[in-house]
Chain A
Amino acid sequence: MKNTPPETTPFFARDREWHPPAFTPGYKTSVLRSPQRALISLEGTKSEITGPVFGHNILGEFDNDLIVNYAKPGEMALGERILVYGRVIDERGRGVPGALVEFWQANAGGRYRHKKETYLAPLDPNFGGFGRTITDEDGGYAFKTIKPGPYPWPNGVNDWRPAHIHFSVFGHGFAQRLITQMYFEGDPMIWICPIVKTIPDENAIKGLIAALDMQNTIPHDMRAYKFDIVLRGRRSTFFENRKEGN
């Protein structure tokens, strides 16, 4: 990591018109799980602007290769082979180095490896469906996987999730903590999904759609999708902060 001064300022305020609101009746589960009272604003103190740092020692050799990390020796997961890559940046456009990025997904048939999962599509004995990596000095990350399938889910009587990969991201401060989902360019299922539609702003949805990038395909092996993730930016330190109330 570069020898930069410690980041000690609070984060930009979160734009709550951009994120999905808590109460989104089209996504039924949110109805009873959405706080109804106003959030209380808490300008970043040490408790929010600090955060844990994860070292590369937590990573196994194949944590960023979902095609093989659960497969039997010599075997591989079934499905369309893809490389997912991108950068974790902040709202200023600066790379976020050392960010832990975790991802999980359904298999090529749209089935998760989970005891509560009831979809009739079969499990792939060689696919676990999760991995993780830590961003490099420029915030870059990459992993190999298979393209997940769409699947039906109990919400409306005929609701389907578009193909997607879940992402959990740590920045440098606990207030940057974010979970989101990546969708795939050109998928018509995106625009009819009740979970996607919890996001009120069309541009915010577009920001979650990974682009097919034929320049980064691995010839005769896998296609590439580019997915950048933006975390909250930190305020500037032009001047010392005034004490509260002054």
Chain B
Amino acid sequence: MVQPLTYFKESASQTAGPYVHIGCTPNFSGITGVYDTDLGSGPMVNDQTRGERITIRGFIYDGTMTPLKDAMIEIWQADADGFYNSPSETRGKADPNFFGWARQPGDMATGEFAFATIKPGKVPFRDGRPMAPHVTFWVVARGINLGLNTRMYFSDEEEANAADPILSRIEHRVRVPTLIGKRDGNTVTFNIYLQGENETIFFDI
């Protein structure tokens, strides 16, 4: 016998199900009067927020290229200078006018999601090299048993993307574009493909 290790196991995940919006965005699902607003659905920026205003838009497609209409998407990102608004951010203080987290349901009719935010700054990798600007995505929905993690990088950051420690070590280069949001003016389009030829890269984080 050896000494026992006294770790617990993480609670097993279960699908968010078809009614995740009742719990997480009740006003969106038509149940008003309990929460003033849906958490994370308000504007991510105010007049004082530093940084370039952008809107991230996209769809999530299943294996038949049908857009999901019952997904919930959350994003988490650094401020314009690359600082996270979190107690675990020890390098400096983030912009107090930028929370950095938001949650949106896909549109019930079309499935499209949209986040009005700012373009994040560069955040250092574990060894200090800068990671290219990116937004962390977390996707849950009916039929997804464990929330899916991915990242969106920016098409107007070619040089930074080429040097990014995560992107540069992906073996199958043909898949890298699945992580790049396409910027056109202030709109960045980021579609997520759950399956198929263009299946998005998902991370085990």
A15 touches B19 (CB 8 A): no
Contacts of A244 in B (CB 8 A): 125-127, 165
Interface centre among A52, A63, A90, A244 (most CB of B within 10 A): A52
Contacts of A116 in B (CB 8 A): 18, 70
Closest A residue, CB atoms, query B204: A39
B22 touches A178 (CB 8 A): no
A40 touches B6 (CB 8 A): no
Least CB distance, A152 to chain B, in whole angstroms: 14
A22 touches B34 (CB 8 A): no
Stretch of A77-85, A139-147, A168-176 with 4 or more beta carbons under 8 angstroms from chain B: A168-176
Contacts of A60 in B (CB 8 A): 34-36
Verify if B74 is at the interface (C-beta below 8 Å from A): yes
B134 touches A24 (CB 8 A): no
Contacts of A196 in B (CB 8 A): 14
Verify if B131 is at the interface (C-beta below 8 Å from A): yes
Verify if A43 is at the interface (C-beta below 8 Å from B): yes
Partner of B19, one of A44, A92, A93, A112: A112
Q: Interface size for chain B: under 10, 10 to 19, 20 to 34, or 35 or more residues?
A: 35 or more
Per-residue 0/1 for A25-40: is the Cβ within 8 Å of any B Cβ (1 yes, 0 no)?
A: 0010111111111011
Contacts of A12 in B (CB 8 A): 7, 10
Interface centre among B148, B199, B204 (most CB of A within 10 A): B204
A40 touches B194 (CB 8 A): no
Stretch of B46-54, B61-69, B181-189 with 4 or more beta carbons under 8 angstroms from chain A: B61-69
Contacts of A58 in B (CB 8 A): 39
Given contacts A45-B123, A174-B138, contact A195 B30 (CB under 8 A): no
Contacts of A53 in B (CB 8 A): 86-87
Contacts of B78 in A (CB 8 A): 46-47
Given contacts A33-B62, A47-B134, contact A6 B87 (CB under 8 A): yes
Verify if A129 is at the interface (C-beta below 8 Å from B): yes
Partner of B9, one of A15, A24, A70, A177: A15
Contacts of B134 in A (CB 8 A): 47
CA–CA, A196 and B17, complex, Å = 12
Closest B residue, CB atoms, query A233: B7
Partner of A18, one of B9, B101, B131, B141: B9
A114 touches B29 (CB 8 A): yes
Closest B residue, CB atoms, query A201: B12
CA–CA, A113 and B148, complex, Å = 26
Verify if A222 is at the interface (C-beta below 8 Å from B): no
Least CB distance, B7 to chain A, in whole angstroms: 5
A91 touches B205 (CB 8 A): no
Contacts of A89 in B (CB 8 A): 8
Verify if A204 is at the interface (C-beta below 8 Å from B): yes
Closest 7 pairs (CB-CB, A-B): A104-B23, A29-B143, A50-B86, A33-B143, A52-B101, A20-B145, A32-B63
Can you list 18 pairs linking A and B with CB atoms under 8 Å apart?
A: A6-B87, A8-B90, A18-B12, A35-B199, A45-B126, A50-B86, A52-B76, A53-B87, A90-B8, A104-B22, A114-B30, A130-B31, A177-B74, A201-B12, A230-B10, A230-B11, A232-B10, A244-B126
